[in-house]
Amino acid sequence: ANMARSGFKRLAPTLLIPTNVATPFTTNISHNGDFPVYTPSVSPNDPKNFGWYTGGPTGVTATINGEGREIRTRGARWNLAWGDERLTVKGGMAYDTYARSITGMGDDGRWANITCGGNLNYQMLAPNNTGPNPCNGSITAANAAATNPLTQYPGYGTGWTTGKPPLAYLGSAVPNVSQYLQPGRSGFVTLDWARFAEATQYNQLASNLIPATGNGFSGVSAQRFGEDIFGSYLEVSGQERIFDRLLRYDLGLRHTHAMQTIGVFASVPDPRTTALPDGGTTNASQGARYPAQVVETSGRTAYNTNLPSATLAYNIADDMILRAAGSKSITRANPSDLRPLTLTVNDVAFQLVSVTNPNLKPFEAKNFDFGWEWYTDKKGSYLAAAYFKKDIKNFPRTITQQLTLSQIRGIYGANSITYAAGSQAETAVNASGGPDKHLMTLSQPVNTDDVMKLKGVELTWSQSLDRWLPWKGFGFITNYTRTLQDAGTSGQVPIGVSPYTANLTAYFENSRGSIRLSSNYQAQSSFDTMASDGNNAFRLVKANRAYFSMDLSTRIEIGDWVGWKKGVSVNFDVANLGAAKQKSFVQEEYATRTYWDPGRTYQLTAQMKF
């Protein structure tokens, strides 16, 4: 039996501080072979070039987002075996539960209000307007009395705010943000965080965030996912001599019943808001509207699966083995994609929207392997070759189409995509000419009709060099894998599967210690599907650049040197010894999507055996 519980909470404050749109400048864009290089005509490391300039295309952002996660697991197992090495029969059952909750949190505009929006003395919550003033710091402590908040919240003192204190602006806590910026070591301004956080009451706000229903800073929306799995298996294994050679076999059947429960959270109007004189729809009720209620919608998915497997190993000679294996396996769909039908807008321009698919099926794979091994000495040296084949059914893909906001609402309901009055989303929609003309790219995961086929060969050579060298302990292990794929008419490609990979490890080891130098090469692979319907731009090649890396691992026994018992060792490891860099691109290598320079990682550890 087993039981575990884990959790974490993280906060992500975000500040977007632009340059002045009224003072344009030019930027020279070049490329150094790895990523674009932007060289503006003004210094990005000068705090005076930045401020609360709200007139530009990006505007100003000051938000606090948070995300909390909790995972609980429980399980129990029962196994029974009978027999000996010639014939063994095993059987058993298992029951596992998995529960994960993701909670989103946000400041609902409060941080922007305090920092640069005038600092209203009472926190308004949606559906009241949480940001009536531009975040430009123009309302200061010196002139705050000149702005009457009751003109923005004519309903204040009734409904939700009945009996609340008089409404007033106290003045933006940071009217001039450039005073909190300083030159950064990377050539770009940075923020004096300690001063800024204290001035804007960050710690108090971060301790009292409001539950949010949209995507958290990790990109995953608030949700609950639970899974109850009952499994049973029967296995027969043993060995027989055929033509005076040993045959070992293992045959099994596993049955799995799984029940998944997925819940999502959404904001719905408080009935008391709709009961206000204007139904909560006009400016007259601003300040009186009751905060939206968070409700959960859940759905359940169940599946039953029988998963057979078989392995055979036959000694065709004393030092040579043939192996064969076959199995069926399943992988559940991404729980986030299985949520009850939900639409989520994924960008500030209000153009990219994704929709879930609770009808996604698990994808199934039929796996086959056939291999040959030749053991050439008693030091563990061997040659091996294997052929593998995998047929994947119900593999997920993403279909994409462009629709107007009105068309999307016509398909999924009038309230499928909403936005607050005066919000950046409303500004974007109005700039396009309204919901009938505002185009959005809608994407949804579906199961492919084709069978994705992967096949390939794997070659391995492990060799001790003791027979050829005067020094004992040297050797190497090398491996090469070639993978071919056929996605049928869907065009779907497996993510992150290189057409070929190679590994080489050289080592020296004896009773005193060991040294291993390992290298790995991965050919170019896809990071995203090339098959997305409705928009040819999504058919571009999206690839991870070929990657070569090296690692060093050393160990030395020091127990007898320092007067301790045996089993005391010191280890020194270097990850990414060659400082390899990773890059992904779209269509052309100059069109860099991501670039990662992790550098080297050094680790020094000591071990003692008791």
For residues 277 and 284, what is the distance between their CA atoms, to the nearest angstrom? 9
Domain assignment present for 170: yes
What does the pLDDT look like over 263-276, one tens digit per residue? 888 888 899 999 99
The CB density around residue 15, as the number of other CB atoms within 10 Å, is 17
Domain assignment present for 597: no
pLDDT for res 531: 47
Six-digit token string for 605? 């550890």
Domain assignment present for 583: no
* Boundaries of domain holding 256: 1-318
For residues 149 and 165, what is the distance between their CA atoms, to the nearest angstrom? 13
- The mean pLDDT of 62-74, rounded to a whole number, is 92
Q: Is the pLDDT at 533 greater than 50, yes or no?
A: no
pLDDT for res 488: 67
What does the pLDDT look like over 89-115, one tens digit per residue? 999 999 999 999 988 888 888 999 999
Domain assignment present for 25: yes
Structurally, the chain folds into a number of domains equal to: 1
Domain assignment present for 547: no
Domain assignment present for 76: yes
pLDDT for res 501: 97
Domain assignment present for 151: yes
Six-digit token string for 523? 């050919």
Rounded to whole angstroms, what are the CA distances from 231 to 226, 253, 542?
16, 11, 39
Cis link prior to 127 (omega < 30° from 0)?
Answer: yes
Domain assignment present for 450: no
Report DSSP letters for 121-182, one per residue: SS---TTS-S--S-SSS-S-TTTGGGS-GGGT-TTTTSGGGTTPPPP-B---S-S-GGGGEE
Torsion, Cα 157 161 163 164, to 10 degrees, reads -100
Q: Is the pLDDT at 141 greater than 90, yes or no?
A: yes
Give the confidence band of 492 by pLDDT, cuts at 50, 70, 90. Answer: low
Q: Report the residue count for the chain.
A: 610
Lowest-confidence region among 119-123, 265-269, 385-389? 265-269
Report DSSP letters for 173-188, one per residue: S-S-GGGGEE--TTSS
For residues 37 and 28, what is the distance between their CA atoms, to the nearest angstrom? 8
Quote the DSSP letter at residue 221.
Answer: B
